[in-house]
Copies of this chain bind each other. A is one copy, B any other.
Amino acid sequence: MIKKIFLLLIMPSLLLSGCYYGNLSEDDDRPDYVVAIHGGAGWILKENISEEKEAAATAKLNEALEAAEKVLQNGGHAVEAVEAAINILENDPLFNAGKGAVLTAEGTAELDASIMNGEDQNAGAIAGVKHIKNPISAARLVMQKSKHVMLAGEGADNYAADNGLDTVPNAYFITEARAANYNKNHPDKAPVHKYGTVGCVALDSKGNLAAGTSTGGMSDKEYGRIGDSPIIGAGTYAHNETVAVSATGHGEWFIRHAVAHDIHAMVEYNRWTVERAADFIIHRKFKYYDVNGGVIVLGKSGNVAMPFNTPGMYRGYLKSTGEREVKLYGEE
């Protein structure tokens, strides 16, 4: 009888109500650790990229994953793993973060970054810094040492320098390739919205999630423009009970739709799976609004989604189970 009531009432209620689409995976299956990274979404097509560049990008993504893995294997916190991976990408001129950042309309590099600890929703962000070598480390410093979440401009540069982070002249960030692109494009005002933001999400052995994002922003941006990367809720979000998210793409749209927090909310309130929430943003909302970009999303059970709607996205993940993937292009 009870079985009959279940079949007649409760089963259809779950199926028909539209509220219980997916089942969050069980924690029993959670890998000891997981890390996923991106190096930006954009017009990344095999025919446009030399074999050397392809090999260099692949090697660097693997190096970043392994730097995070080393932290996680030693029982380190997810926040530490996120910082370690992003530092590798910031220091490499291939990516639009740290060294190799794109230039503002004024020809300078202005860097943004944010980091969030899913354990306690603590977060740190810096925007528009010009002299901190590793912006993600400055974001972590703000999170852990200051009473604030977000510092911008000279105040952020000074705070990081006063607390012992490495500083560099602005010219350190500016590679020959970016300078040539600036000179080529600036006189005729043809903006090149080159993306290449980097990000990382990690799950550590204690079940803590963390997310971080670092960028040089949009090329030819107005002086003082802040994109989504340093905005908690837009480019970065982490909550141990749901997901860690890092986004890349058209930052203004990500702010207006609070993309990273929205994915968290869909998992928390709708009980959607990580995959469903990420796909809804990238393949439904992006399509509707004609927006480009991608996200990496890591669920509390270790499942990874990395959807994008551009031709390619530098991306990769690895799990303690040995599962591993590094890819650059779409539909490989």
- Residues of A participating in the B interface, judged by any CB pair closer than 8 Å: 8-10, 12-20, 116, 121-123, 127-128, 146-156, 158-159, 221-227, 231-234, 237, 251-252, 255-258, 261-262, 265-266, 269-270
Which residue of B has the minimal Cβ distance to A105? B155
**When the two chains form their complex, are residues A255 and B155 in contact, meaning their CB atoms are under 8 A apart?**
no
Q: Are A155 and B17 also in contact (CB < 8 A) when A149-B255, A261-B261, A270-B269 are?
A: no
**When the two chains form their complex, are residues A225 and B151 in contact, meaning their CB atoms are under 8 A apart?**
yes
**When the two chains form their complex, are residues B255 and A233 in contact, meaning their CB atoms are under 8 A apart?**
yes
**When the two chains form their complex, are residues A16 and B8 in contact, meaning their CB atoms are under 8 A apart?**
no
List B contacts of A12 (CB < 8 A): 9-10, 12-13
List B contacts of A121 (CB < 8 A): 256-257
Pick the 7 closest A-B CB pairs, nearest first.
Answer: A155-B224, A13-B13, A19-B19, A265-B265, A233-B258, A155-B223, A269-B269
**When the two chains form their complex, are residues A252 and B153 in contact, meaning their CB atoms are under 8 A apart?**
no
Bound complex: CA A20 to CA B269 (Å): 12
List B contacts of A225 (CB < 8 A): 148, 150-152, 155
Bound complex: CA A60 to CA B248 (Å): 44
**When the two chains form their complex, are residues B152 and A226 in contact, meaning their CB atoms are under 8 A apart?**
yes
List B contacts of A153 (CB < 8 A): 128, 152-154, 224
- Name the distance in Å between A242's Cβ and chain B's nearest Cβ: 12
List B contacts of A158 (CB < 8 A): 223-224
List B contacts of A13 (CB < 8 A): 9, 12-17
Bound complex: CA A149 to CA B250 (Å): 11
List B contacts of A155 (CB < 8 A): 128, 222-225
**When the two chains form their complex, are residues B261 and A232 in contact, meaning their CB atoms are under 8 A apart?**
no
**When the two chains form their complex, are residues A258 and B270 in contact, meaning their CB atoms are under 8 A apart?**
no
Bound complex: CA A159 to CA B223 (Å): 9
- Name the distance in Å between A300's Cβ and chain B's nearest Cβ: 18
Task: Specify which of B20, B147, B258, B269 is in contact with A258 (CB 8 Å cutoff).
Answer: B258
Residue in A8, A121, A266 with the greatest tally of chain B CB atoms within 10 Å:
A121
Bound complex: CA A270 to CA B272 (Å): 12
**When the two chains form their complex, are residues A152 and B128 in contact, meaning their CB atoms are under 8 A apart?**
yes
Bound complex: CA A270 to CA B17 (Å): 11
List B contacts of A19 (CB < 8 A): 17-19
- Name the distance in Å between A222's Cβ and chain B's nearest Cβ: 6
Task: Specify which of B127, B128, B149, B255 is in contact with A123 (CB 8 Å cutoff).
Answer: B255
User: Can you list 27 A-B contacts (CB < 8 A)?
Assistant: A9-B12, A10-B12, A12-B12, A13-B13, A13-B16, A19-B19, A121-B257, A122-B256, A123-B255, A123-B256, A147-B222, A147-B252, A149-B252, A150-B231, A150-B255, A151-B226, A152-B152, A153-B153, A156-B224, A231-B232, A233-B261, A258-B258, A261-B261, A261-B262, A262-B265, A265-B265, A269-B269
**When the two chains form their complex, are residues A151 and B224 in contact, meaning their CB atoms are under 8 A apart?**
yes
- Name the distance in Å between A171's Cβ and chain B's nearest Cβ: 20
- Name the distance in Å between A154's Cβ and chain B's nearest Cβ: 6
Bound complex: CA A156 to CA B94 (Å): 30
List B contacts of A232 (CB < 8 A): 231, 234, 255-256, 258
